[in-house]
Amino acid sequence: MDKKAAQSINPIRLLLKALVLFIIINILWAAFEPQPGYYSIYSHLVRGRPRFPFGEVPQLAYNFTLDNLHAMFESHEIDILPNPNQYTVLVLGDSSVWGTLLLPEETLSGQLNSLGLTEAESNLPIRFYNLGYPTLSLTKDLIILDEALDEYEPDMVIWLVTLESMLWEHQLRSPIVQANPHKIEHLTNRYNISFSKAANQVEFLNFWQRTLIGRRREIADIIRLQLYGILWDATGIDQYYPEEYTAAARELDNDKTYYEYREGMLTGEDLATELLVAGKNMDRQIPFLIVNEPVLISQGENSDVRYNFYYPRWAYDQYRVIMSQQDDANHWDYIDAWDLVSQEEFTNSAIHLTPDGTNLLAEHLADCFVERGIWITID
């Protein structure tokens, strides 16, 4: 700033003007709620990510967790859709679908893509999109599905679930669900879903939280996501892979408890099957497959009491019975793959598979559809 310019400025007036301007911008921001998440360099300057942004160590993973749903979709490779020249399949689920400790090509979607499948009727190549996100909640999946169905016109949905993601009390816990109360309101109104059984409820942002200052973290995250997009495109890395990790427990406690449920007390009322029904009803025209994902079946200590760290045997068995009944009642396309993978093919959690374990699941799913005449293999 030159001397002449500095001389003509009254610092008090300057500060007051800046303050007034700042207040006005904040009020306008809160009133109109602009959505900065819609602006993205992904799929324009850099390639889209094969899975949603998620991670705790951005400096190493070139990826990190944020809650802005628009920014998440804008950064995803799915954002170039719809594409009439392919048969689009969305794959929903938790961290096992997202692919913790797996390279993008090793995830379920990646492995399904590598099978080179074609849709039987149209002969279009099938392209699978990884819409998994590492929290255990069907509501989170439903929010993602609702967004994706409207925007990307998929031809099929595969939704992987497990008991932990189905408990009502878990439904609104996830930070991404908490950060998107409008989506919950939308689901409630559009599909007549009641979340009253959830342990906690979502809260709308108050006026101050909606201002520019209130949303500064969200905006900063969106900008950071663009920067890490450059590194993602430059390196192909979107996850931190530690050299060593703690393996999922095989030696288990002699403990039959499952949250507050006593043995035999888990019922259909406790599971959010309505959300699966709502998901299926979102678009009745397209095939909709529900998969009970593989879990670690331990052969170690107390494996007669528990299958794994998450599940006592009685609770998980009960859950499978309920899912089977719901399948019959609702005419789902349902595959129960719970025991498909041996305990050696699990990594750091009772639901995280190794590349080989994931390959087994991918081939199993492909076989199921090839048998049903929906998909054909090129080879």
Under the rule (CB under 8 A), what is the footprint of other proteins?
Answer: 1, 3, 6-7, 9-11, 14, 60, 223-224, 227-228, 230-231, 233-237
Of the two residues 102 and 271, which places its CB atom closer to other proteins in the complex? 102
Of the two residues 14 and 28, which places its CB atom closer to other proteins in the complex? 14
- Residue 227 Cβ, how far from other proteins at the closest point, in Å? 5
Contacts of 42 (CB under 8 A, 6+ apart): 48, 49, 74, 75, 76, 79, 226, 229
- Residue 9 Cβ, how far from other proteins at the closest point, in Å? 5
CA separation for the pair 157, 89 (Å, rounded): 6
**What is the 8-class DSSP label of residue 137?**
-
CA separation for the pair 107, 132 (Å, rounded): 10
Q: In the numeric block, which tokens belong to residue 289?
A: 């497959």
Of the two residues 18 and 329, which places its CB atom closer to other proteins in the complex? 18
Task: Give me the helices (H) in 171-312, please.
Answer: 175-178, 181-191, 207-210, 216-235, 273-282
Of the two residues 1 and 378, which places its CB atom closer to other proteins in the complex? 1
Of the two residues 3 and 331, which places its CB atom closer to other proteins in the complex? 3
CA separation for the pair 224, 227 (Å, rounded): 5
Element (H, E) at 26: helix 11-32
- Residue 46 Cβ, how far from other proteins at the closest point, in Å? 10
CA separation for the pair 319, 295 (Å, rounded): 13
Element (H, E) at 275: helix 273-282
CA separation for the pair 236, 214 (Å, rounded): 33
Of the two residues 224 and 320, which places its CB atom closer to other proteins in the complex? 224
- Residue 370 Cβ, how far from other proteins at the closest point, in Å? 35
Q: Are 271 and 321 in contact (CB under 8 A)?
A: no
- Residue 49 Cβ, how far from other proteins at the closest point, in Å? 16
- Residue 55 Cβ, how far from other proteins at the closest point, in Å? 14
